[in-house]
Amino acid sequence: SQIYVAYQNERVDQALSLGFLLCWIAGDLTNFIGCYLTDQLPIQIVTAIFYVNMDIIMISQFVYCKLKKQEMKKCKFFQQL
């Protein structure tokens, strides 16, 4: 639900940095790889996949908000001319 609220508020890019998100997904990816390689329980692997997917969604939201705000700045600049 936090991901949905962040999307509605369009403040993902203000709340988190891209570096933080990349470190976060790197950690979750290594967790998934470790679970897979050490033959963990299926629920652990599914949980790791879930976290990686949530990271991808958050990074997508971050990029979308950044691009949308850049586009809005360009539109405002051209409107002032």
Measured distance CA(27)–CA(25) in Å, rounded: 5
Measured distance CA(12)–CA(57) in Å, rounded: 11
**In the prediction, which pLDDT does 81 show?**
59
- Residue bearing tokens 């709340």: 15
Helix boundaries (H) for 1-81: 2-9, 12-15, 18-37, 42-80
Non-local (6+) Cβ contacts of 15 within 8 A are 6
pLDDT tens for the chain, 81 residues: list them: 666 777 777 777 777 788 889 999 999 999 999 999 999 999 999 999 999 999 999 899 888 888 888 887 777 766 665
Measured distance CA(76)–CA(81) in Å, rounded: 9
pTM listed for this prediction: 0.77
